[in-house]
Amino acid sequence: MIKNKILSLIKRPQYIFLLLGHRGFFKWMKDETYLKVAYWCKMDKKLNLENPTTYNEKLQWLKLNDRNPEYTKFVDKYEVRKFIEKTIGNDYLIPLLGVWEDIEEIDFDKLPNQFVLKCTHDSGGLVICKDKTKLDINKAKKKLQKSLKHNYYWGQREWIYKDIKPRIIAEKYMVDESKKELKDYKFFCFDGAVKAMFIATDRGIDTRFDFFDLEFNHMPFMQHYPNASKTIIKPKGFEEMIKLANVLSKGIPHVRVDFYDINGKVYFGEMTFFHFSGWEKFEPSEYDEVFGKWIKF
């Protein structure tokens, strides 16, 4: 993995800017300036903030201009549970096993044999335990401690994460009919209206993303990951997830609402305001324009 990162930096030296940004080297730089430089580094073109038309451009505009403080609660993996319970009901929440501010507060002896630990304030602070007897607790603690110290805001200027209180939650370990990692069902919502979604399969192994319209027709484009080589079956809760996503996204110009479908039972996953942070190309590029038209401001 380290070798691949080095090769990536050699091929795209501008990525050094992004790497340093994630480590907080450019805290002195204004958000707008940082985003313009970062967008050029990732997208190979100038960012148009005066008259944004594409999906990725509009996400950058939203980072700078749509700063509803309520959004921070929606991306906090602990606080959002209150919103879900109030809005659609706690039946859609994966059971909570605990919440802590300090990694040393976790009593692993009291946790079940299987569980999932998540940092509440970032993306990637995750430990999946399928068998506690085989869990390297020290390694898990180090990973979570590193995430607790990382402010996710600085690297991508997603202001929404800047002031989240870093905590760790434990949730029940869930499996679906595949008996493997859960499939993610991710819905693109625009002020209470789902327009498209994608399914992430084989996460962490050979990740594939497949996009679908509301009739579950496969959409002919890719973003970051290739399409799956196998046929993807429409989840049992597809229509239910669309209805729930419409409710949860009402009044928000754009948000992605994620769910799991576990043996026909729908569970809430998370809310994401900046898909790929608006720094990932569409193939073919025309779909950047298609998604962009759905964001109104």
Give domain 68-93+177-297's CATH number out of 3.30.470, 3.40.50, 1.10.1740, 1.10.287: 3.30.470
Q: What pLDDT, on a 0 to 100 scale, did the predictor assign at position 204?
A: 65
d(CA 267, CA 273): 19
Domain range list for the chain: 2-47, 68-93+177-297, 95-173
pLDDT in tens, the chain (297 residues): 566 666 666 667 788 898 899 889 999 999 999 999 999 999 999 999 999 999 999 999 999 999 999 999 999 999 999 999 999 999 999 999 999 999 999 999 999 999 999 999 988 778 999 999 999 999 999 999 999 988 989 999 999 999 999 999 999 999 876 666 678 899 999 999 999 999 988 776 788 899 999 999 999 999 999 998 888 889 999 999 999 999 999 999 999 999 999 888 999 999 999 999 999 999 999 999 999 999 999
Cβ atoms within 10 Å of 172's Cβ, excluding its own: 14
- pLDDT value at residue 181: 65
pLDDT at residue 16, as a whole number: 87
CA-closest candidate to residue 145, choices 169, 111, 168: 168
Q: Is the distance from CB of 16 to CB of 38 less than 8 angstroms? A: no
What is the rounded CA–CA span in Å between residue 26 and residue 54? 26
Give kind and range of the element (H or E) at residue 200: strand 194-201
For 6-33, letters b (16+ CB in 10 Å) and e give eeeeeeeeeeebbeebeeeebeeeeeee
User: Helix H segments across the chain?
Assistant: 2-11, 15-22, 31-43, 55-65, 70-75, 80-87, 137-149, 153-156, 238-248, 286-293
CA gap 65, 40 in Å, rounded: 20
